[in-house]
Amino acid sequence: MAAEDPSISAVSAPMLSIIVPTFNEVDNVSLLLEKLKAVLPVQNWEVVFVDDDSTDGTKEALHRLCRKYPYVRSLERIGRRGLSSAVVEGILSTSAPFVAVMDADLQHDERLLPHMLEDLQSDKADLMVGSRYLEGGSTGEWEASRVRISRVATWLSGFITSVECTDTMSGFFMIRRSTFDAAVRQLSGQGFKILLDILASSPTPPRVKELPYTFGIRQHGESKLDALVTLEYINLILDKLVGRWIPVRFIIFSAVGGLGVVVHMAILTTAHVLGEPFLLSQSLATIVAMTFNFFLNNALTYRDKQLKGTWPLLKGLLSFFAVCSLGAVANVGIANVLFQRSFTWWLSAIAGIIVGVVWNFAATSIFIWRRR
């Protein structure tokens, strides 16, 4: 690292800030710090841990480190989760001209850091990426299933960025702060894939250089990647593809509505085959489909504002019935007016459905799943 006078660099603002998102990593944080100290000997760097209210004592471990080392900071968030948003807020909390992002669980090879910094400082690139897919790198002992998913996700990322990068899924990179700042307002900020988000949100393609490394195995704690991460990834892709025109939340809401129709028809058909009267079958199908939609919307569409507990859920469900009933009235009303003005029957129906869905979406996001 280019520090002419160590006594000055010890008190001056850091050149490099390493942002480390943590969620339940109590056994990893001090090990990571030791590794960083070993590869970055001169103190003109800092590390910022961004913790989302871990429950395993990570917070206390971080406080101990912060009190011991002035170049360790911790940023705490409460009531929120998300790897990408944690990274964004960590970066915004520093004024260092170069920022690295890496996981706390020792799966990323810290020995790359000095080389990444060197190349950024000598202006060889704007963004240095640790790649598992470049020659010399490897996914290590990662399970075959995770490697496959990662490959598919990397291929999908080609739809939203044309920047040459072999490992767009990498959670390990170093970026020039000005390059990050150019993209930050366009970031989707959802889910796990902050590097891809930055690549897809940069107004001009950053100069990317990759360095190979072998993905390590997690020694302590467990991975936080779950089914929701896949959904958030699809969310990111859709947001970058069509988000400018249609909110992704609306797309998911409509897809859930579509599934509701399938549920409705399945129940109606079954009841019909069993010889139940139509009115009863139709009513039953409607109630079950609406309930199904309510819970699916709660789990997917509005997962960041999820209602929890018996009472909030019951209140939400009843409000959802009320909102959807009004939506149905609007739907039939509009369709009927259009049909009477001699529009074709199916065009009238589609117009009615669109009005109904838009109403349902707007009303549920205002009255049921409110912004917190």
Q: List contacts with Mn ion (CB under 5 A).
A: 103, 105, 107
| Piece of the chain touching ligand GDD by CB under 6 A; list 80-88, 179-187, 273-281, 355-363 | 80-88
Q: Which of residues 338-357 bind ligand GDD (CB under 6 A)?
A: none
Q: Which does 253 bind (CB under 5 to 8 A by kind): Mn ion, ligand GDD, none?
A: none
- Give the nearer residue to ligand GDD in terms of CB position, either 94 or 107: 107
Q: How far is the CB of 75 from ligand GDD (least distance, A)?
A: 9
Cα 266 from Cα 255, distance rounded (Å): 17
Here's the x/- map for ligand GDD, 37-76, by CB under 6 A: it reads as -------------xxx------------------------
Q: How far is the CB of 24 from ligand GDD (least distance, A)?
A: 7
Which one among 14, 82, 137, 356 touches ligand GDD, defined by CB under 6 A?
Answer: 82
Q: How far is the CB of 273 from ligand GDD (least distance, A)?
A: 46
Q: Which of residues 218-237 bind ligand GDD (CB under 6 A)?
A: 223-225
Which one among 169, 211, 289, 290 touches ligand GDD, defined by CB under 6 A?
Answer: 169
Residue 269's closest CA among 260, 257, 278, 258? Answer: 278
Q: Which of residues 94-133 bind ligand GDD (CB under 6 A)?
A: 103-105, 107
Q: Which does 196 bind (CB under 5 to 8 A by kind): ligand GDD, Mn ion, none?
A: none
- Give the nearer residue to ligand GDD in terms of CB position, either 21 or 316: 21
Per-residue 3-state assignment (H helix, E strand, C coil) for the chain = CCCCCHHHHCCCCCCEEEEEEECCCCCCHHHHHHHHHHHCCCCCEEEEEEECCCCCCHHHHHHHHHHHCCCEEEEECCCCCCHHHHHHHHHHCCCCCEEEECCCCCCCCHHHHHHHHHHHHCCCCCEEEEECCCCCCECCCCCHHHHHHHHHHHHHHCCCCCCCCCCCCCCCEEEEHHHHHHHHCCCCCCCCCHHHHHHHHCCCCCCEEEEECECCCCCCCCCCCCHHHHHHHHHHHHHHHHCCCCCHHHHHHHHHHHHHHHHHHHHHHHHHHCCCCHHHHHHHHHHHHHHHHHHHHHHHHCHHHCCCCHHHHHHHHHHHHHHHHHHHHHHHHHHHHHHHCCCCHHHHHHHHHHHHHHHHHHHHHHHHCCCC
**Measured at CB, which residue is nearest to ligand GDD?**
171
Q: Which of residues 6-35 bind ligand GDD (CB under 6 A)?
A: 21-23, 25
Q: How far is the CB of 54 from ligand GDD (least distance, A)?
A: 8
Which one among 137, 171, 206, 316 touches ligand GDD, defined by CB under 6 A?
Answer: 171
Q: Which does 210 bind (CB under 5 to 8 A by kind): Mn ion, ligand GDD, none?
A: none
Contact footprint for ligand GDD (CB under 6 A): 21-23, 25, 50-52, 81-83, 86, 103-105, 107, 169-172, 192-193, 223-225
